[in-house]
Chain A
């Protein structure tokens, strides 16, 4: 158990819908990262928050957004869903925000299926 929790574990929805994925980081970790794992794109970095503020953006679509709340949990919002958004979404956390030696601890993931 990494100490990072993600809910829900599975999500099945229809095209055009909007969903929210939730992540709680390990106790004491200030940074949260979101990654998408799909068969064709592999594991890709989406976005990072550090202590409530956006720190870095990766290959995140404009239909996707995220935020980190004062209690440090984070939510990833996916809207106008398309079939191609079906993937496993991971959240990871680390102590600091821009230190490359930091270890990121991953949650179990949310599997999103768009029908």
Chain B
């Protein structure tokens, strides 16, 4: 079945460091890919998405490119801030014949940014 695998955390960086969180997926058909962020004590917020191969999603300095050849959707940011400390979830939306948009999530990666 469809699945998402994220790099294990926690990831600890200094402010202004470069961030990469790896995400790979297994899916039949052509899913859409998402990054959600969960700040402490809050719900999930959409960070960015891409709906087809080679699409690049971007928001608030974060970027991710839908790579079908490597089945990946890695999250990157050039310069992280303390306020980026949160848990990041990679997810795919079932694009097969199941006729549902349910999300399948990775296990989440905790990012801690130190001043």
Contact = CB atoms under 8 A, between A and B. Distances in A.
Interface string B71-115: 000000000000000000100011100111111111110000000
A33 B104 CA distance: 12
Given A43-B89, A100-B32, A106-B45, A58 B108 contact: no
A75 B68 CA distance: 37
Given A105-B46, A108-B42, A96 B101 contact: yes
A106 B18 CA distance: 28
Nearest to B108: A42
B43 interface: yes
Interface in A29-57: 31, 33, 35, 42-45, 48, 55-56
Chain A, interface size category, equals 20 to 34
A98 to B, nearest CB: 4
Contacts, number: 72
Contact of A106 (B44, B94, B100): B44
Given A2-B43, A2-B45, A90-B43, A104 B101 contact: yes
A109 interface: yes
Interface string A96-113: 111111111111110000
Interface in A74-112: 90, 92, 94, 96-109
Nearest to B29: A100
Interface string B25-61: 0000011101010000011111001010000000000
Given A96-B101, A98-B101, A106-B36, 18 more contacts: A2-B43, A2-B45, A33-B102, A42-B105, A42-B106, A43-B103, A56-B99, A92-B44, A97-B101, A98-B99, A100-B30, A100-B93, A100-B94, A100-B95, A101-B32, A101-B93, A102-B93, A106-B45
